Amino acid sequence: MSGALKEVRNRIKSVQSTQQITKAMKMVSAAKLRRAQDAITQMRPYAQKLQEMLSNIISNADGNIALSLATERPVQKALIIVVTSDRGLCGGYNSNLIKLAKSLLQDKFATQFAAGNVHILPIGKKGYESFTKAGFNMVNNYWDIFQDLSFERVQVAAQYAMDAFASGKYDAVEMVYSEFKNAATQRFAIERFLPVPKAEIKQGSKKSDFIFEPDKEILIAELMPKILNTQLYKAVLDANASEHGARMTAMDKASENANELLKTLKISYNRARQAAITTELTEIVSGAAALQG
């Protein structure tokens, strides 16, 4: 029985060590989540209002204005921006994003993908590793953005997508990312980046009457790239907060599972210990009876 006791005791120590790690990771993720949540909460209304304004301007623009980033054309080549995390241990967060990106390929760009005309632009190490291993066509210059997250670094990636779309290298650019709801909830989303979507005009609604200063063409040319930079930055901030929320939830669940496992192991240990004591007592009593006999 001593061997069985030692084995159970070692397993208990191992689970306790793992639990200390999961609790520490949960606390670290909770601290990072607070900062990430503040960042996206402050950014989201601004980004949404800018996107709404841009869509309205494009929808009400005259047909003679050249809108290179809002031009709808037949999609022969596409770029998919997939925002994952750099690190794991966050439940199914990364695998769900990668699965969603692959489903987008099959559902919307199957013909283009079969012809080798779909490229993946990963932001985050996990997505970069997964798509590289699977042999996808890659734009792999921007996967390390989370190592030093800033608006300037995201802007460089957004500018690449805009330049490539404007030059005709791609006819559509889609984003796959996780929209942050709260610490326990994320919404895995597909969002069109380019061409810039127009606002839906309801029947009977009046055309918006904008007064432009400076000229409409100059304003749109200046405004559109800035708003698109902001849109991608918002998606990256959403993903950053979602990652920390998912990791905090996963580590909390792991700590609870460790507690349950510890209870089971301690019961097993006590039973083995009790059996060992009973065996020893039986041997002592049998020895004493033999001596008396």
138 and 241 share a domain? yes
Taking the C-alpha atoms of residue 114 and residue 70, their distance in angstroms, rounded to an integer, is 26
Domain that holds residue 47: 22-250
Count of structural domains, the chain: 2
* Residue 74 CA neighbour count, 13 Å, CB half: 3
Question: Whole-angstrom Cα distance, residue 180 to residue 38?
Answer: 11
pLDDT at 217: 75
Co-location of 95 and 110 in the same domain: yes
Span 65-77, average pLDDT = 83
User: What confidence category does residue 5 fall into, taking pLDDT thresholds of 50, 70 and 90?
Assistant: confident
* Residues 133-158, mean pLDDT to the nearest whole number: 96
In a domain, 6, yes or no: yes
Percent of the chain clearing pLDDT 90 (strictly above): 69
Residue 28 belongs to a domain with what CATH number? 3.40.1380.10
Task: Compute the mean pLDDT over every residue in the chain, rounded to the nearest whole number.
Answer: 89
Mean pLDDT of 103-126: 96
Residue 134 lies inside a defined structural domain of this protein: yes
Does 291 map to a domain?
no
Active site residues: 90
> What's the rounded mean pLDDT across residues 109-131?
97
211 and 75 share one domain: yes
Q: Report in angstroms the alpha-carbon separations of 69 from 57, 59, 158, 167, 197.
A: 13, 13, 12, 10, 10
Instruction: Please compute the mean of the pLDDT values over residues 126-130 and round it to a whole number.
Output: 97
Higher pLDDT, 200 or 55: 55
Q: Is residue 293 part of a domain?
A: no
Q: Are strands 172-182 and 78-83 parallel, antiparallel or unpaired?
A: parallel
Both 10 and 100 in a single domain? no
